[in-house]
């Protein structure tokens, strides 16, 4: 018995988002510190599956993968609520510009422009959020004290971390996207036809 197209489309999307979230969680566990920054600021490639989802479907799909990844990571006891929230917000700030520019221009140039924009948005956005919300929350809830001024801490550590993270993830994603572009387009076509 054939399933209606809308039902088939929802099932395809659900399976894809579940798969991307699982891969994203596994990649999040394979994090590594940068030599010139505090050890708790770690880079991982867990935003890559969220980018895939956002490019295949929509920005909302990427946000769902980011939310599921951080929710699962927190439930497994691998993180704290502030860190999970910060990672989610950073991921959303990073993937949204990529997704929006790709869906507008449907080109490698759109992806590269989105990655540059996403890196800038994430770097500036997370700097502001760390200064106003995240660092005070860590101080209040977990007793984490910043040595010196918050502004110096954000400038010396948070800004460079997010900038370098965006560059590293972008450098990995562009060749992956170029190689997998036919697959992307096939999945997009399947998603549109099934809708």
Q: Within a domain: residue 39?
A: no
Write out the residue range of the structural domain in which residue 176 sits.
5-27+45-185
CA distances from 180 to 3, 9, 45, 175 (A): 29, 21, 17, 8
Name the residue among 77, 183, 170, 76 with its Cα closest to residue 123: 170
Predicted confidence at residue 133, as pLDDT, reads 92
Is the pLDDT at 4 greater than 60? The verdict is no
Per-residue pLDDT, averaged over 94-103, amounts to: 95
Torsion angle (degrees, nearest 10) of CA 155, 47, 28, 167:
-40
pLDDT band (50, 70, 90) for residue 149: confident
Q: What is the pTM of this model?
A: 0.87
Question: In this predicted model, what pLDDT tens digit does every residue of 22-55 receive, in sequence order?
Answer: 999 999 999 999 888 888 889 999 999 999 999 9
Q: Within a domain: residue 13?
A: yes
Percent of the chain residues topping a pLDDT of 90? 62
Q: Within a domain: residue 160?
A: yes
Is the pLDDT at 187 greater than 50? The verdict is yes
pLDDT band (50, 70, 90) for residue 160: very high
Q: Within a domain: residue 93?
A: yes
- Domain total in the chain: 1
Q: Within a domain: residue 192?
A: no
Choose between 145 and 74: higher pLDDT.
74
Per-residue pLDDT, averaged over 105-111, amounts to: 90
Predicted confidence at residue 59, as pLDDT, reads 95
Of 17-21, 57-61, 148-152, 158-162, minimum mean pLDDT range: 148-152
Q: Within a domain: residue 95?
A: yes
pLDDT band (50, 70, 90) for residue 10: confident
Is the pLDDT at 2 greater than 60? The verdict is no
pLDDT band (50, 70, 90) for residue 7: low
Predicted confidence at residue 5, as pLDDT, reads 55
CATH of the domain at 161: 1.10.1760.20
Predicted confidence at residue 169, as pLDDT, reads 96
Q: Within a domain: residue 33?
A: no
Q: Within a domain: residue 36?
A: no
Name the residue among 63, 59, 54, 68 with its Cα closest to residue 24: 68
CB 69 within 8 A of CB 28: yes
Provide the mean pLDDT of the chain: 88
């Amino acid at each position: 018995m054939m399933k209606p197209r809308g039902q088939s489309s929802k099932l395809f999307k659900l399976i894809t988002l579940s798969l991307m979230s699982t891969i994203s969680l596994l990649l999040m566990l394979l994090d590594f510190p940068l030599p010139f920054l505090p050890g708790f600021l770690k880079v991982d490639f867990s935003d890559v599956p969220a980018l895939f989802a956002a490019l295949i479907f929509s920005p909302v799909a990427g946000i769902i993968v980011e939310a599921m990844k951080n929710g699962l990571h927190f439930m497994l006891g691998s993180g704290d609520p502030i860190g999970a929230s910060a990672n989610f917000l950073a991921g959303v700030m990073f993937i949204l510009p990529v997704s929006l520019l790709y869906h507008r221009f449907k080109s490698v140039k759109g992806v590269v422009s989105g990655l540059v924009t996403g890196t800038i948005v994430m770097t500036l956005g997370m700097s502001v959020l760390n200064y106003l919300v995240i660092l005070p929350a860590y101080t209040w809830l977990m007793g984490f004290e910043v040595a010196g001024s918050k502004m110096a801490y954000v400038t010396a550590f948070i800004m460079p971390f997010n900038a370098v993270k965006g560059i590293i993830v972008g450098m990995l994603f562009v060749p992956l996207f170029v190689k997998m572009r036919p697959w992307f387009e096939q999945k997009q076509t399947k998603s549109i036809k099934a809708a």
